[in-house]
Amino acid sequence: MTDKIAFDLVSPERLLLSEEAEMVTVPGTEGDMGVMAGHMPLISTLRPGVIDVKGGTNGDKRFYVIGGFVEISPSKLTVLAEESVPVAEMDPTALDQRIKNTEEDVTLAKNDDERAKAQERLDYLKGVRAAL
C-alpha cells in the first residue's frame, strides 16, 4: 500500500478539505509541484491554478486557487489559499455569463481603479473557466 500524506486546504472562510492523499499537485509560483509522503520540507507561494488531489480518502478532487501559500513537510501538506473553489461545483453556463458581465464592467469602468478591479475579477473568472 502506498504511503499517504496528510493534506489540509484552508481558505480565509473555512477548512475546505482535510484528508490523506497519495499525491497532491499544487501550482507553485516556480511551477507545479507533485507532493507525496516523504517530500522534503518546503514553503512556497502559489500562483492561480488547479490543485489536484489523487488517491484521497474520499476519491480524487480538484480545486481552483487564486493564490496563497503552501507548507510541505515529509508527513503533511498545508495550503493556505487566498480563495479556492471546488472544480466539481462550478457551473460552466453561469460562469460564462459572469465572464460576459465582468467584461462589460471593464469596458464601462469610469476610472483606472475601477478598471483594474474589474480586470482582476475578469482574470480570476477566466482562470476558473480554464480549469473546467
By the 10 Å C-beta count (0-12 exposed, 13-18 middle, 19+ buried), 65 is classed as buried
What grid cell was written down for 40?
Answer: 522534503
Question: Which stretches of the chain are DSSP H helices?
Answer: 92-108, 112-131
Q: 127's torsion region: left (phi>0), alpha (psi -120 to 50) or beta?
A: alpha
By the 10 Å C-beta count (0-12 exposed, 13-18 middle, 19+ buried), 130 is classed as exposed
d(CA 84, CA 93): 19
The pLDDT value given to residue 88: 86
The pLDDT value given to residue 48: 84
Count of residues in the chain:
132
Residue 81 phi/psi, 5° resolution?
-95, 140
- Read off the pLDDT of residues 103-126 as tens digits, 9 standing for 90 and up: 999 999 999 999 998 898 888 888
Over 80: is that where the pLDDT of 132 sits? no
| C-alpha distances out from residue 111 to 78, 100, 101, 121, Å | 39, 20, 18, 16
- Read off the pLDDT of residues 23-38 as tens digits, 9 standing for 90 and up: 999 999 999 999 999 9
Structure pTM?
0.79
Over 70: is that where the pLDDT of 1 sits? no
The pLDDT value given to residue 125: 84
